[in-house]
Amino acid sequence: MMGRIIRMKNYVDNRDVLRWVDRMLIRLCARYADYRVFPVFFDFPNFVQKDDPSSFRLADNFSIYPQFMFHLRRSPFLQVFNQSPDETAFMRSVLNVENVENSLIMIQPTLTSFTFDKEPEPVLLDSSSLADNVILLMDTYFHILIYHGLQISQWMKAGYQEQEEYENFRELLEAPKAEAAELLVDRFPVPRYIVTQHGGSQARFLLSKLNPSTTHASAAGFGQPAAQAIFTDDVNLQTFFEHLKKYLHTKVL
């Protein structure tokens, strides 16, 4: 609903829209968030009772709201760099007419992981979901993307999927294709279908959507395999949430 009520025509600069989204998020959290309150010790008359910002908690029905606002701020509806005005207008018009389920996919795409030792399962839209031995299927509504990890792509180049003794590998490769085909059949307008791999130029469509919890600039990024590090200076979800809690504690409460 927040995505639909953004009044684009009333703003000349998209930065005004971002500030409006931030204000709405702050107001909601200030109204409905709970904090643990430190006890007052009457032996110390100068003691000032304060809330504990680390205990910030939203009710279950609002718990993932900040997460969706984080992805909305990074979505093509608000971030129009490297995007034509026609593309922006098209995406915004589709958002205004689609149902809630499809609108949520546009704002926060779904990500499914395929591996040898597990059934296909939804995973976090996060750089931590990248791994050498997985295949990822991402649905942004406008794109259906299949991403092969480094090890998977190396096996494909070696032609293992064409050998009888590696039938399980061939089945693993076919599983995301079958699921993507089901999405393409029912979707209108038809999404762009992309198949890419680690290091591929079109992997940028996936990397741009992931929460950059591990980057080239973070300590975790240097300690992780290259497939898990995203080269970006964007703020990650954890940092965004920490700043939100601190702002609420110092400015609103």
Reported pTM: 0.84
pLDDT in tens, 189-200: 899 999 999 999
Q: CA 63, 65, 70, 71 torsion: positive or negative?
A: positive
210-250 tens-digit pLDDT: 999 887 666 444 444 444 678 887 889 998 988 888 887 66
pLDDT value at position 253?
44
Statement: residue 143 has pLDDT above 70: yes
SS (H, E, C) 125-176: CEHHHCCCCCEEEEECCCEEEEEECHHHHHHHHCCHHHCHHHHHHHHHHHHH
Task: Compute the C-alpha angle 181/71/68, nearest 5°.
Answer: 95
Identify the structural domains of the chain with CATH numbers, from first to last. Answer: 1-108+236-253 (1.20.120.730), 109-210 (3.40.20.10)
C-alpha–C-alpha distance, residues 210 and 229, integer Å = 11
**CA distance linking residue 73 with residue 18, whole number of Å:** 7
CB distance 149 to 133 below 8 Å:
yes
* Residues ≥6 apart with Cβ < 8 Å to 62: 28, 32
- Summarize pLDDT for 23-45 with one digit per residue, the tens: 888 888 888 877 665 554 544 44
H or E, element range at 177? helix 167-186
Question: How far does CA 103 lie from the centroid of its chain?
Answer: 14
DSSP letter, residue 91: H
SS3 (DSSP) at 83: coil
Residue type, 105: I
Inform me whether the pLDDT recorded for 119 exceeds 70: yes
Task: Name the strand (E) or helix (H) holding 25.
Answer: helix 14-32
Most confident of 35-39, 47-51, 163-167: 163-167
Flag whether pLDDT at 171 surpasses 90.
Answer: yes
The Cα 62–Cα 231 span in angstroms is 31
Q: Are 183 and 191 in contact (CB under 8 A)?
A: yes
- Contact 10/17 with Cβ under 8 angstroms? no
